[in-house]
Amino acid sequence: MKLKKFGLISAVVVCVAVLVSLWLMRTPASHFDHQPMKQTMASADMVRKGEYVARLSDCVACHSTPDAPPFSGGLAMATPVGKIFTTNITPDNDTGIGRYTLADFDRAVRQGVAQDGHRLYPAMPFPSYQKLSDDDIAALYAFMKQGVKPVSRQNIASEIPWPLNMRWPLAFWSAAFSRGGPYQSKEGHDALWNRGAYLVEGPGHCGSCHTPRGLAFNEKALDASSPDYLAGALLDGWYAPSLRNDANTGISRWSEQDVVTFLKQGRNQHAVVFGSMADAFNNSTQFMNEDDLRAIAHYLKALPAGSHNAGSHWQYQTTESTLAGNPSGRQIYTARCSSCHGADGRGQAPWIPPLAGATSMQVDSASAINVVLNGSARIVADGVPDAYRMPPYRKQLTDQQAAEVLNFIRTSWGNQGEKVDAKAVGELRGKTDPASSNVIILQMR
């Protein structure tokens, strides 16, 4: 009897294992599976639309490097378990996506599955791209196939060690954290809000940086139904702040026009883009049309405060008592920072941002430390490089001095930032490099 029971259990286990294996090895369905294998040439308008979708999705920032042809890959991306390198997505038949059908392309972009069936690491933001419409996927495919020059460039293997580099477990990750499909308009919201939601949640993949992640490195939320969505997150040495209407840590003091100006010009009365956002601005947001920028602004300003909302609304304080502590930090600020940002911390907007009330001075200190040590990248708006940029101070300031000046800034003029210690500065110094002072423009063609 026991032998029969054991045999039955074994048979069930084998059947389950077989079913799981078949599920893992299956080719996911695509909305384009029944399209003819032979693709006809797309119209010029279709290719132009696809180029715009590529801008919305910021494909060039990850799949290009300054010293190589557009979209030929090779960008190193740090992960907690080792570096991975972006792939060649030019229409080269041997090293790129030249042999991809529209259905193959769709599976890669929206489901994270390559033509040969291997799973893509979620550094490729397919959990967001799954919301792209069929029309936008088809247009993007037309641009990548006809608007991009094929380049023969072999992909670089990841540096993730075995067994962590095995791809099949990513099927389970995708099933758990990347469920859904193309964006569906939400009832109770107007067309402008829905367009903004589509752009932010889908091609813009804003949540990839601005949404906190769980233990499996998954975004805790993929849309506005959760207070975690766009609530702010630490990523790769930078803290991407909340894009919700949080009191101090978000954009509650920004108007819709402020958001539009920031995305179009890279600066407004409150802030100037820096860190990872500089790449997003230089290669993506400034190329969006006015209607789409207004839709994004309308959507973001409609979001309530998120899960990281903390503290009372910031108000400028001028009382001497708030500036009396930390004389060393104040001295360093006066010598190094006040000529640009002002003795009163108000800056010279829109060219030099205020530090009084700055989001980076209220939230996790990573961005503040990073920009003091490494400066900021060049902003190129309308083809014109900026004349003002934050210089790196890693050679001029010790870890202790950097901590002292940041603690002065983060507790002055009404700022409510937590204390920075020299150890945190030293750790980030060892993991980061100075921002390049060169003008870097990634071409799409």
And the tokens for 275? 């860190």
Q: Is the pLDDT of residue 417 over 80?
A: yes
**Count of beta carbons in the 10 Å neighbourhood of residue 357:** 23
pLDDT confidence band for 18 (50 / 70 / 90): very low
Note the pLDDT of residue 310: 78
- Stretch 434-440: mean pLDDT, rounded? 84
**Predicted confidence band at 9 (pLDDT cuts at 50, 70, 90)?**
low
Under the banding of pLDDT at 50, 70 and 90, the label for residue 21 is very low
Whether the pLDDT of residue 39 is over 70: the answer is no
Which of 19-33, 38-52, 347-361 has the least mean pLDDT? 19-33
- Higher pLDDT among residues 290 and 30, named by residue: 290
- The C-alpha atoms of residue 295 and residue 264 are separated, in whole angstroms, by 13
Average pLDDT over residues 419-441: 91
Q: How large is the average pLDDT for residues 297-325?
A: 82
pLDDT in tens, 92-149: 999 999 999 999 999 999 999 999 999 999 999 999 999 999 999 999 999 999 999 9
Is pLDDT of 17 > 50?
A: no
Residues 38-60, mean pLDDT to the nearest whole number? 92
Average pLDDT of the chain, as a whole number: 91
**Joined tokens for residue 201:** 């949640």
pLDDT at 340 over 90: yes
User: In angstroms, how far is CA 236 from the centroid of its own chain?
Assistant: 10
pLDDT at 16: 45
State residue 137's pLDDT score: 98
